Structure 1
Amino acid sequence: MPTLTKLFTMQETSLHNTKDDCWIVIDGKVYDVSSYLDEHPGGDDVILVATGKDATDEFEDAGHSKDARELMETFCIGELDPSPEIPELEIFSKNQPAGHAQKLMDLTKQFWAVPVAIVGISVVIGFLYLRKK
């Protein structure tokens, strides 16, 4: 009978990001390394920084031994779901609450160059128009 592999999303994996509940993703596999943090030769902070993202590059860059790789397999709890995660769409109604006006103001502050450019172009056109009269 084939073994069933549990699939996890990256979002689900990233929720396990504390010293008492720590999951990491390496090469598409999900590992629960909570019980290993205190024993990790590089310290627990190295692993805790890697939670919530694919830590394959960091794992490979550290140059882990064959024994470390074999030990790692004992902590494997499943695989990363290969299907792309689709973000939820936000649906707006015609009667939007005042909070949306604040979001618009925040965007305007963030992208201030566009309104400034429009005003600048308008001033130049107005100046040229008045100069021709």
Structure 2
Amino acid sequence: MPTLTKLYSMQEAAEHNSAGDCWIVVDGKVYDVSSYLEEHPGGDDVLLQVTGKDATDEFEDAGHSKSARELMETFCVGELDPSDIPQLEVVSEKQKSYIPEKLVHLSKQYWVAPVAVVGVSVVVTFLYLRRK
């Protein structure tokens, strides 16, 4: 029989935000890392900084090893309620056409200065050679 996983809201996880009671959320799972704070190689302040929010990006950016990921699973107390996981925004058709237009405008803007420099240098060279 499969084990039922306890679901927590982000608000519930955020309430555990002290050195004696520290929960973090990574990849939709909730971890009670209170007993691991002193042993954490990066220091307890690293974990305390990410309580009350999704720490997935910070966890991935740190480049944790396979053994660190396995150890982390021993601290898992449940999963984040799916309704608390942010959903990707759907881009409307109007916005889709606006994005390439904006990129074209920006690319034109960044070509103005180099083209102006080349143009001025051609004119100066032409005038210099004409004087000789």
TM-score interval, normalised by the smaller of the two chains: 0.5 to 0.7
Q: State which structure, 1 or 2, has the greater radius of gyration over its C-alpha atoms.
A: 2
Q: Where in structure 2 are there 5+ consecutive unaligned residues?
A: 86-132
Question: Where in structure 1 are there 5+ consecutive unaligned residues?
Answer: 86-133
CA contact 2:9–2:84 (8 Å) conserved in 1: no
Work out the CA distance in 2 between the residues paired with 1:83 and 1:19. Answer: 28
Q: Provide the aligned length of Structure 1 versus Structure 2.
A: 85
* TM-score under structure 1 length normalisation: 0.63
CA distance in 2 between partners of 1:46 and 1:2 (Å): 34
What RMSD over aligned residues (CA atoms) do the two structures have, in Å?
1.1
Q: Secondary structure at the match of 1:50?
A: coil
TM-score, with structure 2 as normaliser: 0.63
- Share of identical aligned residues, percent? 80
1:70 corresponds in structure 2 to 70
* Alpha-carbon distance between aligned partners in 2 of 1:41 and 1:84, rounded to the nearest angstrom: 30
Classify the secondary structure of the residue corresponding to 1:53.
Answer: coil
2:82 and 2:10 map into 1 onto residues whose CA distance is 10
Q: Which runs of 4 or more aligned residues in structure 1 lie more than 2 Å from their structure 2 counterparts after TM superposition?
A: none
Flag the 1:73–1:84 CA change in 2: closer, same or farther, 3 A. Answer: closer
Matched, 1:14 2:17: no
Shift of 1:84: 4.3
SS, match of residue 83 in structure 2: coil
User: d(CA) in 2 for partners of 1:55 and 1:29?
Assistant: 10
